[in-house]
Structure 1
Amino acid sequence: MTPSSTLRGLRLSSLASASLISLALLAPLQQAHATAPVASVSWQEAAGDSDVEKAFAQARSEKKPVLLYWGAKWCPPCNQLKATLFNRQDFIEQSRAFVAVHIDGDLPGAQKLGTRFKVRGYPTMILFSPEGQELTRLPGEADAPQVLKVLQLGLAGGRPIKNVLADARAGKKLSANEWKLLGFYSWDTDEQQLVPAAERPGLLAQLAAASQGADAETGTRLWLKALAANADGKSLKVDAALQTRVRALLGNAADARAQVDSLNYGASDIVRSLAPTAGAERNALIALYETALKRFEADATLSRADRLSALVARVDLARVDQPKDSTQPKLNAALLKEVKDTSVRLDKEITDGYERQAVITQVAYLLGHAGQWKDSDELLKASLSKSHSPYYLMSQLGGNAKKQGRKDEALKWYEEAFNKSEGPATRLQWGSGYFGALVELAPQDSAKIEKIAAQLFNEAAQDKGSFYERSARSLQKVGSSLAKWNDKGQHDAVLARLKTQLDGICAKVDTADKQRETCESLVKAPAKKA
Structure 2
Amino acid sequence: MKINRRPSALAATAAAALSLVLLCQAPVAYAMAPSNASVAWQEAGADADIEKAFAQARAEKKPVLLYWGAKWCPPCNQLKATLFNRQDFIEQTQAIVPVHIDGDSPGAQKLGTRFKVRGYPTMILFSADGREITRLPGEIDAPQVIKVLQLGLAGGRPVGDVLADAKAGKKLSANEWRLLGFYSWETGESQLVPAAELPALLAQLAAASQGVDTETTTRLWLKTLSASDEGKGVKPDAKLAGLVQGVLASPAESRAQMDVLSNGAADIVKTLTPEAGAARAKLIGEFEVALKRLEADASLSRADRLGALNARVDLARLDLAKTELAPKLSPALVKEVKEAAAKADREITDGYERQAVISSAAYLLGYAGQWKDSDELLKASLAKSHSPYYLMSQLGGNAKKQGRKDEALRWYEESYNKSEGPATRLQWGSGYMAALTELAPQDAARIEKTAALLFSEAAQDKGAFYERSARSLQKVGGALVKWNADGKHDMNIARLKTQLDGICSKVDAADKQRATCEGLLKAPGKKA
TM (norm. structure 1) is 0.93
The 5 A counterparts of 1:31-430 are: 39-430=37-428
Q: Is the 8 A contact 2:291 2:312 kept in 1?
A: yes
| 1:150-198: CA deviation from partner (whole Å, max 9, x where unpaired) | 0111111110000000000000000000000000000000001101111
TM-superposed deviation, 1:418: 0.3
Q: Relative to structure 1, is the Cα distance of residues 307 and 526 closer, same or farther in structure 2, using a 3 angstrom cutoff? A: closer
Q: Is the 8 A contact 1:492 1:526 kept in 2?
A: no
Q: Is the 8 A contact 1:161 1:181 kept in 2?
A: yes
Q: Relative to structure 1, is the Cα distance of residues 521 and 527 closer, same or farther in structure 2, using a 3 angstrom cutoff? A: closer
* SS at structure 1 position matched to 2:229: coil
Unmatched runs of 5 consecutive residues or more in structure 2: 23-32
Provide the C-alpha distance between the structure 1 equivalents of 2:205 and 2:211, rounded to a whole number of angstroms.
Answer: 12
Q: Is the 8 A contact 2:81 2:353 kept in 1?
A: yes
**What corresponds to 1:21 in structure 2?**
none
TM-superposed deviation, 1:525: 8.2
Q: Is the 8 A contact 2:5 2:139 kept in 1?
A: no
* SS at structure 2 position matched to 1:68: strand
* SS at structure 2 position matched to 1:232: helix
Q: Is the 8 A contact 2:200 2:233 kept in 1?
A: yes
| 1:80-135: CA deviation from partner (whole Å, max 9, x where unpaired) | 00000111111111111110000000000000000000000100000000010000
Q: Is the 8 A contact 1:66 1:101 kept in 2?
A: yes
TM-superposed deviation, 1:511: 3.3
Q: Is the 8 A contact 1:67 1:126 kept in 2?
A: yes
TM-superposed deviation, 1:10: 6.1
TM-superposed deviation, 1:236: 2.3
Question: Could you tell me which amino acid in structure 1 is paired with residue 235 of structure 2?
Answer: K
Q: Is the 8 A contact 1:496 1:525 kept in 2?
A: no
Question: Could you tell me which amino acid in structure 1 is paired with residue 325 of structure 2?
Answer: T
* SS at structure 2 position matched to 1:362: helix
Provide the C-alpha distance between the structure 2 equivalents of 1:457 and 1:100, rounded to a whole number of angstroms.
Answer: 35
Provide the C-alpha distance between the structure 1 equivalents of 2:479 and 2:524, rounded to a whole number of angstroms.
Answer: 15
Unmatched runs of 5 consecutive residues or more in structure 1: 12-23, 31-35
**What corresponds to 1:20 in structure 2?**
none
Question: Could you tell me which amino acid in structure 2 is paired with residue 227 of structure 1?
Answer: L
Q: Relative to structure 1, is the Cα distance of residues 343 and 292 closer, same or farther in structure 2, using a 3 angstrom cutoff? A: same
Provide the C-alpha distance between the structure 2 equivalents of 1:469 and 1:485, rounded to a whole number of angstroms.
Answer: 24
Provide the C-alpha distance between the structure 2 equivalents of 1:526 and 1:236, rounded to a whole number of angstroms.
Answer: 35
**What corresponds to 2:30 in structure 1?**
none
| 1:353-406: CA deviation from partner (whole Å, max 9, x where unpaired) | 000000000000000000000000000000000000000000000000000000
* SS at structure 2 position matched to 1:126: strand
* SS at structure 2 position matched to 1:185: coil
Q: Relative to structure 1, is the Cα distance of residues 334 and 97 closer, same or farther in structure 2, using a 3 angstrom cutoff? A: same
Provide the C-alpha distance between the structure 2 equivalents of 1:522 and 1:177, rounded to a whole number of angstroms.
Answer: 46
* SS at structure 2 position matched to 1:70: strand
Q: Relative to structure 1, is the Cα distance of residues 527 and 321 closer, same or farther in structure 2, using a 3 angstrom cutoff? A: closer
Provide the C-alpha distance between the structure 2 equivalents of 1:6 and 1:84, rounded to a whole number of angstroms.
Answer: 12
| 1:19-40: CA deviation from partner (whole Å, max 9, x where unpaired) | xxxxx9699x99xxxxx98921
Provide the C-alpha distance between the structure 2 equivalents of 1:261 and 1:64, rounded to a whole number of angstroms.
Answer: 30
TM-superposed deviation, 1:509: 1.3
Provide the C-alpha distance between the structure 2 equivalents of 1:299 and 1:513, rounded to a whole number of angstroms.
Answer: 52
Q: Relative to structure 1, is the Cα distance of residues 403 and 150 closer, same or farther in structure 2, using a 3 angstrom cutoff? A: same
TM-superposed deviation, 1:3: 6.5
Provide the C-alpha distance between the structure 2 equivalents of 1:286 and 1:300, rounded to a whole number of angstroms.
Answer: 23
Provide the C-alpha distance between the structure 1 equivalents of 2:10 and 2:68, rounded to a whole number of angstroms.
Answer: 14
| 1:247-300: CA deviation from partner (whole Å, max 9, x where unpaired) | 111011101100011111111111111111111110000000000000001101
* SS at structure 1 position matched to 2:359: helix
CA RMSD of aligned residues (A): 2.0
Q: Is the 8 A contact 1:499 1:525 kept in 2?
A: no
**What corresponds to 2:466 in structure 1?**
468
| 1:477-526: CA deviation from partner (whole Å, max 9, x where unpaired) | 11111111111211111111111110000000133440100000001389
Question: Could you tell me which amino acid in structure 2 is paired with residue 9 of structure 1?
Answer: A
Q: Is the 8 A contact 1:233 1:272 kept in 2?
A: no
Provide the C-alpha distance between the structure 2 equivalents of 1:187 and 1:200, rounded to a whole number of angstroms.
Answer: 8
| 1:433-461: CA deviation from partner (whole Å, max 9, x where unpaired) | 00001001011111111111111110000
Percent of pairs with identical residues: 74
Provide the C-alpha distance between the structure 2 equivalents of 1:253 and 1:484, rounded to a whole number of angstroms.
Answer: 51
| 1:411-432: CA deviation from partner (whole Å, max 9, x where unpaired) | 0000000000000000000000
Provide the C-alpha distance between the structure 2 equivalents of 1:371 and 1:26, rounded to a whole number of angstroms.
Answer: 45
Q: Relative to structure 1, is the Cα distance of residues 243 and 97 closer, same or farther in structure 2, using a 3 angstrom cutoff? A: same
Q: How many residue pairs align between the two structures?
A: 510
Q: Is the 8 A contact 1:496 1:526 kept in 2?
A: no
Provide the C-alpha distance between the structure 2 equivalents of 1:501 and 1:131, rounded to a whole number of angstroms.
Answer: 44
TM-superposed deviation, 1:303: 0.5
Provide the C-alpha distance between the structure 1 equivalents of 2:428 and 2:320, rounded to a whole number of angstroms.
Answer: 31
Question: Could you tell me which amino acid in structure 1 is paired with residue 374 of structure 2?
Answer: S
